[in-house]
């Protein structure tokens, strides 16, 4: 610790202190709950990162927000817990390991036993988890690492089995054969939420289906025309639907058609699913391969014919089921022409069209926009498939969860996500919880040789519970549970449930959950449902998992694009903290790219964006940037320029602290006693600090991290560093002993409070400076003797601290100084030329203030003198500046060369006119406004506004000088 404390370099070098500080914090146990059960608790559960690699900018953003809240609440003395852990991420992790094995050894998981393959995943998991945990430590996450959990550790696995068994016993879990989204590449069911719908240009095929037994339409045709985008599913057709109100076809309802290519007779049925205005009004019904057709089949009790294998190719023999999912054994419906066996859907589609054409049954083909479902991980077309799966009955669970949000027991920030939650919950479907994977929680269900199912925690329990003989062979279900099943019990399973302990009582319900809006249904809604079913309070009422849901937007790149490895625009937060060369950055972005043809584009874009790589900015600059751009729920456009600005902010704070330490070193006995005089600037900064505390706390309490960051920035940079420290130089040089005592005391104490205020957002630099400031402070009994800022009390607003005169007087002094500086800048007055300034006002209070602070104004504004004029006093030709009731006059004769200055200003105004004209032309082009990204258009408009404002200032100055 001494090594850290002794370091106060001339410049701020983050990587010299960050790792050492974090190791010290963790070693000392500062991140743990304080264990004081008499104090209010505060708990946040980490959204568990997937063990599939490393944290991205979205994680870093969310973790920053969480850590700000945790540190803020900890400093308020609450018994605070940040519970950490990782998620096994079933599909994502299995895909990653399978790719790795195939790339390295050319093998698939089927070359291994299930147990051996899982061992390989566990090795991957351990390495990935170590990377993730390293990143989290580098980000400054004040986590109680001793409580770290994993969704497949022993305790959580027990909790998962307990939840499954209880839900099954309560008839809330069931198994059945239903139509699901099937991924033919991964060979598993996926949820609706994991399907990505892509619009593309396709075709609508119009096929003639012959009518049987001489039947004809009202137009006298012996066929009807069916419009379809999926002709390859014809072998699964079980009927054709027409609208009962459609006069063209309603006389055919109940009649039969002869299904081409197979010769099977199928019925024409009446159903409102058939849209009279769409296509031909005749819809082929293929219930085993279309979700809408599936509902039609259930309404009409039609059989369902599955023509695809799990790999998505045409079967040799179709499977036929009734609407209950029971297999029907028939030779009539399951025949598929042999030439189609084993064909992919696309090949089968082309052949069906050709065969229809050869038979004279292809009526027409029209271009048609279609929406195609893709697996968001496999990137292959998803097929509706009839399979046996496990489901949770969600309707009984959803009612309580809806009420909790309706009654504001759970609040959404921003509020608009509350509506999104209700929309999904009010239309909720049963949750398919089984997945055909090897990695995950194995479903705790066993089958005997007759297919009878037994559910329990383990086979031994089942044999005992059902009094089964040891000779009876039982086989455990091969499937695993959906990853989101274990994640949905995260808030209580991580606290030891189902074991009885104090953790749940102390920290549950948790306070806040931080989440991206894209998993509101995956995770948030399901956590609420399952928690309220299993966790009850002392009165037996359902307990919510958290009080507040704070939704974050996505972190996008500087062009507004979603960050992804495939686009090569991902930024590793550690590369921002430690820096990275262009060569290494390019290697990271291109090394494991899935689409190699994009390498050149990624290379060129990266080289343009980071020509010298990324320099080291440190953790605090990164955290401050995240906080500053954390607008509620909105997507975030990452901006390296803002990062640079907040790195400068850290430097500013460091340099200000160094100035204070230099001037107060070995002087603490001189200014820590009561005999001191506070100057106007001392009184002013204390009021400013007090008001900043109030506004800053209000921003954090309402989750406006962007406002909090801006408030902190404004006070630190503008009020404290730029003004107050500058003003103190006058006292340090010209003040008497007691005034110096007052200023030294104020400098140190304001800095110390500011450090505590800023600590939740920028923990490393504040801790480092605080350790140097601490010896200079006389701490009262409310302070903690522990040698860290993070366990000190958070600053409190003092409503009794008021000093209107100090605020008004100092603000007036500032206005005058700013006006003088602006004039000097605008007319290019060299620093060594000292202006004589005249001031005229009728306001007696202003006159008193100026008279009292004349020396201060002269020193800070760097002028020769300031003279108060009466109304009738005459001065030479001057530039005049008005401030409220004040007239400032700046005599210019002998100060500037009038002709040269007029020429210079003319050139400047001409340059600005050209820039304004160029932007106006761009904004008048309709193609630019229609196709350019919104943020690009906004940037151009901002530039235009800036140039116009600057133009106006120069024109005013030009006129002033002409009139001299």
Please write the tens of the pLDDT for every residue from 559-617: 888 887 767 788 899 999 999 999 999 988 887 666 677 788 888 888 888 999 999 99
Read off the tokens for 47: 């959204």
Candidate from 24-28, 298-302, 419-423, 585-589 with smallest mean pLDDT: 585-589
- Residue written as token pair 């998803």: 382
Phi, psi (degrees; rounded to nearest 5) at 388:
-80, 125
> In Å, how far are 621, 840, 854 from 885, measured between CA atoms?
42, 9, 17
Three-state SS at 625: helix
Phi, psi (degrees; rounded to nearest 5) at 116:
-65, -40
Q: pLDDT class for 734, splitting at 50, 70, 90?
A: very high
Name the most confidently modeled range: 193-202, 427-436, 625-634: 427-436
Q: If you write DSSP's letter for every residue of 721-733 in order, what string do you get? A: IIIIHHHHHHHHH
- Residue written as token pair 């449930």: 497
In angstroms, the CA 206 to CA 223 distance is 12
Sign, CA dihedral 775-780-786-792, equals negative
Rounded to 5°, the CA angle 417-557-140 comes to 75
pLDDT of residue 633: 66
In angstroms, the CA 83 to CA 65 distance is 14
pLDDT of residue 875: 77
Neighbour tally for 695: CB within 10 Å: 17
pLDDT of residue 228: 95
Neighbour tally for 116: CB within 10 Å: 10
Strand partners, 432: 391
80-117 pLDDT, tens digit each: 999 999 999 999 899 989 988 998 999 999 999 999 99
Q: pLDDT class for 459, splitting at 50, 70, 90?
A: very high
**Rounded mean pLDDT of 747-762?**
97
Q: pLDDT class for 898, splitting at 50, 70, 90?
A: confident
489-523 pLDDT, tens digit each: 999 999 999 998 889 999 999 999 999 888 889 89
What do you get for the CA distance between the two ends of the chain, in Å?
64
Read off the tokens for 146: 């001793």
- Residue written as token pair 């509506």: 419
Read off the tokens for 617: 């900015």
Name the most confidently modeled range: 65-74, 331-340, 729-738: 65-74
Read off the tokens for 628: 């500053």
Helices (H), 335-441: 345-358, 395-406, 416-425
Phi, psi (degrees; rounded to nearest 5) at 246:
-80, 105
pLDDT of residue 931: 80
Q: How many helices (H) and strands (E) does the chain have?
A: 32, 31
In angstroms, the CA 865 to CA 447 distance is 98
Helix axes 763-773, 18-28, angle to 10 degrees: 80
443 and 475 Cβ atoms separated by less than 8 Å: no
> In Å, how far are 175, 514, 758, 795 from 790, measured between CA atoms?
52, 22, 11, 12
In angstroms, the CA 941 to CA 922 distance is 10
Q: Which of 773, 680, 756 is nearest to 716 (CA)?
A: 756
Q: pLDDT class for 886, splitting at 50, 70, 90?
A: confident
pLDDT of residue 939: 84
Rg (CA), the chain: 36
514 and 552 Cβ atoms separated by less than 8 Å: yes
Q: Which of 804, 702, 801, 699 is nearest to 757 (CA)?
A: 699
pLDDT of residue 673: 66
Mean residue pLDDT of the chain comes to 91
Q: Which of 405, 635, 441, 686 is nearest to 542 (CA)?
A: 405
750 and 689 Cβ atoms separated by less than 8 Å: yes
Neighbour tally for 875: CB within 10 Å: 14
Q: Is the pTM of this model over 0.85?
A: yes
In angstroms, the CA 91 to CA 542 distance is 32
pLDDT of residue 9: 79
The backbone region for 466, taken as left when phi is positive above 0, alpha when psi lies in -120 to 50, beta otherwise, is alpha
Q: Is 60 exposed, middle or buried (CB count within 10 Å of its CB: 0-12, 13-18, 19+)?
A: buried
- The secondary element (H helix, E strand) that includes residue 389 is strand 383-392
More confident residue, 703 or 334: 703
801-847 pLDDT, tens digit each: 999 999 999 999 999 999 999 888 877 777 778 888 999 888 899 99
635-685 pLDDT, tens digit each: 888 889 999 999 999 999 999 999 999 998 876 656 666 688 999 999 999
260 and 207 Cβ atoms separated by less than 8 Å: yes
Read off the tokens for 531: 């928690």
| Helix, strand, coil fractions of the chain, as percent rounded to 5 | 50, 20, 35
- The secondary element (H helix, E strand) that includes residue 807 is helix 804-826
**Rounded mean pLDDT of 42-66?**
93
pLDDT of residue 885: 79
In angstroms, the CA 718 to CA 560 distance is 31
CA atoms within 13 A on the CB side of 356: 24
Read off the tokens for 730: 């006058």
526 and 167 Cβ atoms separated by less than 8 Å: no
pLDDT of residue 542: 96
pLDDT of residue 834: 87
């Amino acid at each position: 610790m001494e090594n850290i404390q002794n370091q106060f370099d001339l410049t701020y070098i983050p990587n010299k202190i960050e790792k050492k500080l974090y190791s010290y914090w963790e070693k000392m146990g500062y991140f743990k709950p304080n264990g004081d059960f008499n104090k209010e608790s505060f708990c946040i559960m980490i959204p568990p990162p997937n063990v599939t690699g490393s944290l991205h900018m979205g994680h870093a953003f969310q973790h920053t927000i969480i850590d700000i809240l945790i540190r803020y609440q900890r400093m308020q003395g609450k018994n605070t817990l940040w519970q950490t852990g990782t998620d096994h991420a079933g599909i994502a992790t299995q895909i990653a390991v399978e790719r790795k094995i195939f790339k390295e050894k050319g093998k698939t998981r089927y070359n291994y036993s299930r147990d051996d393959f899982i061992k390989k995943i566990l090795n991957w998991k351990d390495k990935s988890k170590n990377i993730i945990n390293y990143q989290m430590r580098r980000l400054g996450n004040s986590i109680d690492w001793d409580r770290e959990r994993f969704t497949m550790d022993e305790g959580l696995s027990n909790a998962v089995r307990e939840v499954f068994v209880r839900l099954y016993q309560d008839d809330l879990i069931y198994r059945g054969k239903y139509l699901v989204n099937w991924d033919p590449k991964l060979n598993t069911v996926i949820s609706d939420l994991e399907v990505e719908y892509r619009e593309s240009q396709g075709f609508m095929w119009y096929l003639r289906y012959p009518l049987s037994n001489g039947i004809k339409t009202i137009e006298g045709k012996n066929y009807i025309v069916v419009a379809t985008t999926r002709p390859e599913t014809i072998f699964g057709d079980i009927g054709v639907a027409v609208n009962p109100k459609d006069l063209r076809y309603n006389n055919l309802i109940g009649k039969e058609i002869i299904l081409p290519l197979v010769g099977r007779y199928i019925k024409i049925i009446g159903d409102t699913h058939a849209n009279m205005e769409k296509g031909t009004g005749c819809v082929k019904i293929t219930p085993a391969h279309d979700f809408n057709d599936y509902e039609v089949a259930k309404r009409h009790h039609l059989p369902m014919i599955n023509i695809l294998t799990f790999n998505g190719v045409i079967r040799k023999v179709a499977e036929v089921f009734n609407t209950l999912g029971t297999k029907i054994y028939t030779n009539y419906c399951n025949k598929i022409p042999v030439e189609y066996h084993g064909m992919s859907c696309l090949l089968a589609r082309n052949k069906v069209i050709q065969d229809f054409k050869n038979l004279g049954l292809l009526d027409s083909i029209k271009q048609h926009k279609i929406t195609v479902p893709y697996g968001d991980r496999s990137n292959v077309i998803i097929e509706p498939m009839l399979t046996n799966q496990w489901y949770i009955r969600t309707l009984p669970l959803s009612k309580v969860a809806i009420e909790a949000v309706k009654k504001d027991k759970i609040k959404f920030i921003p509020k608009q996500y509350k509506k999104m939650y209700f929309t999904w919950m009010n239309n909720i479907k049963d949750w398919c919880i089984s997945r055909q994977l090897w990695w995950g929680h194995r479903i705790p269900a066993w089958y005997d040789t007759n297919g009878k199912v037994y559910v329990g925690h383990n086979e031994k329990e089942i044999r005992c519970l059902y009094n089964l003989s040891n000779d009876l062979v039982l086989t455990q279900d091969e499937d695993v549970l959906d990853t989101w099943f274990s994640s949905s019990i995260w808030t209580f399973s991580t606290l030891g449930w189902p074991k009885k302990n104090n953790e749940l009582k102390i920290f549950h319900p948790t306070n806040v959950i931080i989440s991206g809006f894209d998993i509101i249904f995956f995770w948030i809604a399901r956590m609420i449902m399952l928690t309220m079913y299993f966790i009850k309070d002392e009165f037996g009422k359902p307990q919510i998992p958290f009080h507040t849901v704070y939704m974050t937007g996505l972190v996008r790149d500087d062009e507004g694009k979603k960050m992804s490895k495939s686009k090569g625009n991902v930024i590793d937060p550690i590369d921002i903290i430690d820096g990275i060369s262009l060569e290494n950055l390019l290697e990271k972005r291109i090394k494991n790219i899935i689409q190699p043809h994009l390498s050149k584009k990624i290379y060129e874009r990266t080289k343009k964006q980071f020509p010298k790589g990324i320099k080291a900015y440190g953790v605090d600059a990164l955290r401050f940037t995240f906080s500053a751009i954390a607008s509620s729920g909105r997507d975030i456009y990452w901006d390296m320029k803002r990062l640079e600005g907040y790195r400068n902010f850290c430097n500013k704070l460091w340099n200000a602290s160094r100035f204070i330490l230099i001037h107060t070193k070995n002087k603490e006995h001189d200014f820590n006693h009561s005999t001191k005089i506070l100057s106007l600037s001392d009184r002013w900064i204390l009021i400013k600090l007090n008001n900043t505390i109030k506004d800053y706390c209000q921003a954090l309490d309402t989750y406006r991290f962007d406002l909090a960051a801006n408030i902190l920035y404004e006070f630190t940079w503008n009020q404290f560093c730029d003004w107050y420290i500058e003003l103190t130089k006058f006292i340090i040089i010209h003040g008497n002993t007691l005034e110096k005592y007052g200023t030294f005391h104020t400098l140190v104490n304001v800095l110390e409070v500011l450090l505590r205020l800023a600590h939740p957002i920028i923990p490393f630099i504040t801790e480092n400076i605080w350790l140097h400031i601490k010896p200079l402070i006389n701490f009262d009994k409310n302070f903690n003797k522990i040698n860290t800022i993070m366990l000190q009390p958070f600053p409190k607003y003092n409503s009794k601290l008021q000093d209107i005169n100090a605020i008004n007087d100092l603000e007036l002094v500032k206005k005058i100084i700013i006006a003088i500086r602006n004039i000097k800048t605008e007319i290019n007055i060299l620093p060594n030329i000292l202006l004589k300034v005249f001031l005229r006002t009728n306001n007696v209070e202003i006159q008193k203030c100026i008279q009292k602070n004349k020396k201060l104004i002269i020193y800070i504004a760097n002028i020769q003198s300031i003279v108060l004029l009466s109304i009738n006093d005459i001065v030479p030709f001057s530039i005049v500046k008005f401030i409220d009731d004040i007239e400032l006059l700046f005599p210019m004769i002998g100060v500037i060369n009038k002709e040269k200055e007029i020429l210079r200003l003319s050139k400047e105004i001409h340059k600005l006119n050209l820039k304004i004209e160029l932007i106006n032309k761009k904004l008048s082009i309709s193609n630019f406004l229609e196709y350019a990204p919104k943020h690009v258009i906004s940037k151009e408009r901002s530039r235009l506004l800036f140039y116009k404002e600057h133009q106006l200032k120069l024109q005013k100055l030009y006129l002033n000088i002409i009139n001299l």
